[in-house]
Chain A
Amino acid sequence: MINRELKNLFNDAKKECQPDMDWANDTRGLLLSQVRNEMPKQNIPFLMKFADHLVPANLAFKPVAVFCLIAGLLLVSSFGSVGAAQNTLPGDTLYPVKITAENIKYNLTLSQEGKAKVAMDMVEKRASELKVIVADQENGEREYKIVQASKKIKDSLNKVKDKVQIISEKPDADLVGVVEEIDKKLAMVGEEINEAVTMAEEVLEEIEDGEDLEDKVADELAQVAEEVEEASSVIMAALEDTENTKTLKHLNTKTLKQNSVEGITTLTSSEQETEEVEEVEIQETEIYKAPIKDILGIEEEEVEIEEFKVNIGN
């Protein structure tokens, strides 16, 4: 995009354009003394000071350091340091530690259904935090914290929706239980959020001269409620899919039994590829009722299958 000459000029300019080191050092001293004078030093947890040295400058290019960081954080959590952060809220010092630990747990969970469960736990925790923040009348920064907590809930809900959609695409009927469990938890979260929204109406009334903030708080809470509804729809759709999968599996199992022919068994599900087999005779007398409409998209009907010749080919 640029020629070499121009590139060299830029490189030279970068090397030449350096601040005077004496000035830089003097300025540094002035600024640090300003920090010491104007900001009373609070107790900084050892973990927080140490973490600065643990985190490498560029995580992307130091996988070993990343692994050590993750292992170190897990080790720390086993000694209760992360436990100390469990009751923190948005804006608290150790809150990022709490979120980081949850994200690590989420990332280290291998299965999609496991991730969906962990994401749902995160939504529950964020909803509880929101309720606590809204109820805390003495907190002067309540409005900002409500906005932050709402954003975190939306992030976690997006994770739940993504994972549930992935799960619903798997032809595994055992996942119905997982999705149902998430659905129950989401219903409880929805109730908690409704309670928080009701309490937040008082917060909105208290905001003076802050129309923008009032709008922002109201918008964020409304968006959270919408996200909960959307997640609920995704879960409902997933439950329908997984129910169909369960039925399809049941149908295939039954059909296998019915169609067993000497030496050859084949699936007659429309979703399975058929193999070229010899012409076979099948004798059926049972009345078989299948939810054909849901699976094959045709009208539901009762079918009495009698003796007939079936040519199962391409």
Chain B
Amino acid sequence: MNKIKEKFLISRIRKGDSEAFGSVYDEYIKKVYRFIFFRVPKEEIAQDLSHEVFVKLLNYLKNNSNEIISLMGLIYKICRTEIAGYYSSKQAVNDQAFELSEEIDSRIDKSFRKEDVLDKAVDKKIRSETIMQYIKKINNKEYQEIIILRFIEDMSFVQISEVMNKKINTSRSSLSRALKELKKIIEQKNDK
């Protein structure tokens, strides 16, 4: 969504136009959901937090008349705040975040056994769950975010620097380090 369109939509939302808010929701719901999903252990948690993100966005637009330079930057900032809030709450402890269950472990093992003949759709699902779990295993939250933004959301470095409020070169270096970390995790799993 380009900046001019964003400005018009923000102005309309502040005037109480629900259609405009619907347009923003349609544009960002999948991105928000994916961004959160890769950072939390369960789908239900991702849904709850995604809902909260849009509620917080609406409240921000309602109560602030500041010029918003980047709506995308604002939305991702709210996402990060919600994720941080979730992990600082007791709920995260109960959900045992980032611990792989035995069931998922065995499914990951299967995906690496070439002799197993698995249905393609199931195989695809397992492989995608595999990479999701590997991303969740990365300790550094910033690395997780930058991998998601670059390889899942296909963002350019300009967009990533806008979302993460970093310089472009810093984002590139962070991505390089994040990929090394991810590859290390994959290799460790392969060695087992």
Contact = CB atoms under 8 A, between A and B. Distances in A.
Report the contact-size class of chain B (Cβ under 8 Å from the partner). Answer: 35 or more
A34 interface: yes
Nearest to A36: B18
Contacts of B30: 18-19
Q: Chain A interface mostly helix, strand, loop or mixed?
A: helix
A31 B59 CA distance: 11
A90 B67 contact: yes
A93 B11 contact: yes
A217 B152 CA distance: 41
A23 B118 CA distance: 30
Q: Chain B interface mostly helix, strand, loop or mixed?
A: helix
B65 A141 contact: yes
Given A41-B15, A44-B12, A48-B8, A16 B129 contact: yes
A205 to B, nearest CB: 23
A32 B18 contact: yes
Nearest to A34: B58
A10 B5 contact: no
Interface in B1-31: 1-2, 4-5, 7-9, 11-18, 20-23, 25-26, 29-30
Contacts, number: 141
Interface string B116-141: 00000000110111111000000000
A110 interface: no
Given A9-B128, A14-B152, 5 more contacts: A12-B124, A13-B131, A15-B128, A19-B47, A27-B47
24 contacts: A2-B179, A6-B131, A9-B131, A10-B131, A10-B151, A10-B152, A12-B124, A12-B127, A16-B124, A20-B47, A27-B51, A35-B18, A36-B16, A39-B13, A39-B16, A39-B62, A42-B15, A55-B5, A57-B2, A59-B4, A90-B67, A93-B15, A96-B11, A148-B67
